[in-house]
Structure formats: structure tokens, C-alpha cells
């Protein structure tokens, strides 16, 4: 007897297909959950000595002990995870917000893309500007128009993300993954600052040296976001998507 195996194309979901659908949601869930847990650890480090033991507890604290005993450890862990997720969702910080805040300082200048991608973007924009200048023959300032268009493209970053989402699915998935990793590092790093400070100020001053770890995470997150933005520039330069700013410039008189 011959057994016919169902093929992957006959409506049977593959492991890869299922993971492709699940991973974006898991990435969105991971960042606030981890950040929230770190904040809860910081709170626990700050107040745990003031929390009475079970036998000496009363009022709300006693009710929490009783509730934890009645629902069991798995349900208690689920409740703590829910609280951690909610806390993390409130305090979550995006990598682009950190870069913008850092650039507000007079001595900081972090580009939204890497230097190599910025060079590619300038070449791409300069080509469009020179073509327009030759067609118009009006003596326009090519360098000034190039700089202005590059700033407009940086400002329309979110629109570029939407464009590649609809035009180049694979590149969008890669961008989304890299961007989510950037936000994860930044949120975890900022959250980690608090328990490290609590340890250093309340327990062991030498623990302040551990600040290097959250700061390193924040910096790595910002650099990771620049890597994600590099993919947007690449999509522009190889014509996988288009820029609204460049299109408007080319269509202008």
C-alpha cells in the first residue's frame, strides 16, 4: 500500500511559515516583558528589606501572601509576568528616541545611518538633483538642494518603512527584526540603570562600575538601529523603493 505524504504546498502549514508569523509578535512581547522584569527587580532591591515576612505580615501584604498560596506558584508567576509586561509597556524606550535626545546635546552628533550609508544616500540624491538641474537649466544650487533633500529623507524615515513593507517584504522583515533588536537593547539598558544604581548607592559602592553594562547596551542598541536604517537607504539606492521627497523634487518646476 502506498502512503501519500501531504506536501507543504497543499495547505499544510510549515514550521518556517508558523515561525514567520509568530516571531514578530514575540519580538513585540519580549522587549516590554524583559524591561518590566528589570524594573521590578530594581523595586524589589529598593524595598525588600521593608517587606515583612509571612508570619509578621498584616493588611494588604498578608492578603498578597494568602492569594499567592491559594492560586499556586504558576499562577503567581503569570501574574508577576503580566505586571512586568504592563510596567515595561509604559516605560519602554525606542532607540530612535534616544538618538534624538542625544543629538539635542550640543556636543553630540549621531547620524541616523552609518557613514557609508550616508555616502550612498548622498550619491543617490545628488544624481537626482543633478538630473533635475540639467533639465531645468536654471542654475540651481546642487549642493544646497542635495543637503535639503537628504534632511527631508531622514525626516520621512517612517514613510520609507511603510513603503518597503508593501514593496519588499523580505527587506522589511529584516529591517523589523534589526529595529526590534535595537529597541530591546536600549529598553533593557535603560531599565538596567536603575538596579545598578540601587546596588551601588544602597549596598555596595563598587557596583557603580557595573553601569558600563547598561551604557554599553544602550550604545549597541543605537548602533543597531543605524544598521536597520542602512537597509532603508540600500532599498532606495537599488530602486527597491522610492522617496516621496525625491519624487516631489523631481516633479517640481
Residue ranges of domains in the chain = 15-92, 93-253
pTM, to two decimals: 0.80
* Max avg pLDDT among 69-78, 89-98, 236-245: 89-98
**pLDDT at residue 237 greater than cutoff 70:** yes
- What's the CA gap between 160 and 243, in Å, rounded? 7
| pLDDT tens digit sequence for 159-193 | 999 999 888 888 899 999 999 999 999 999 999 99
- What's the CA gap between 253 and 250, in Å, rounded? 8
Q: Residue 120's pLDDT band (boundaries 50, 70, 90)? A: very high
Q: 3-state DSSP call for residue 230?
A: helix
Report CA Rg, the chain: 25
pLDDT of residue 4: 47
Expressed in angstroms, the distance from the first to the final Cα of the chain is 75
Amino acid at each position: 500500500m502506498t502512503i501519500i505524504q501531504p506536501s507543504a504546498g497543499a495547505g499544510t502549514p510549515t514550521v518556517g511559515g508558523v515561525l514567520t508569523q509568530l516571531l514578530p509578535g514575540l519580538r513585540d512581547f519580549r522587549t516590554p516583558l524583559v524591561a518590566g522584569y528589570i524594573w521590578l527587580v530594581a523595586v524589589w532591591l529598593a524595598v525588600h528589606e521593608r517587606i515583612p515576612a509571612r508570619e509578621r505580615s498584616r493588611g494588604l501584604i498578608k492578603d498578597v501572601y494568602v492569594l499567592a498560596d491559594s492560586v499556586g506558584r504558576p499562577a503567581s508567576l503569570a501574574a508577576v509576568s503580566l505586571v512586568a509586561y504592563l510596567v515595561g509597556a509604559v516605560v519602554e524606550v525606542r532607540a530612535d528616541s534616544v538618538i534624538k535626545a542625544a543629538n539635542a546635546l550640543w556636543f553630540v552628533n549621531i547620524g541616523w545611518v552609518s557613514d557609508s550609508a550616508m555616502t550612498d544616500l548622498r550619491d543617490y540624491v545628488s544624481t537626482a538633483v543633478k538630473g533635475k538641474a540639467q533639465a531645468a537649466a536654471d542654475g540651481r544650487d546642487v549642493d544646497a538642494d542635495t543637503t535639503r533633500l537628504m534632511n527631508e529623507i531622514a525626516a520621512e524615515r517612517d514613510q520609507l518603512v511603510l513603503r518597503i513593507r508593501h514593496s519588499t517584504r523580505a527587506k522589511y522583515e529584516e529591517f523589523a527584526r534589526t529595529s526590534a533588536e535595537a529597541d530591546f537593547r536600549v529598553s533593557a539598558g535603560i531599565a538596567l540603570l536603575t538596579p545598578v544604581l540601587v546596588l551601588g548607592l544602597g549596598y555596595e559602592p563598587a557596583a557603580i562600575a557595573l553601569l558600563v553594562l547598561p551604557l554599553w547596551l544602550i550604545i549597541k542598541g543605537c548602533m543597531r538601529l543605524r544598521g536597520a536604517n542602512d537597509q532603508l537607504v540600500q532599498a532606495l539606492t537599488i530602486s527597491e523603493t522610492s522617496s516621496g521627497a525625491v519624487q516631489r523634487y523631481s516633479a517640481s518646476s
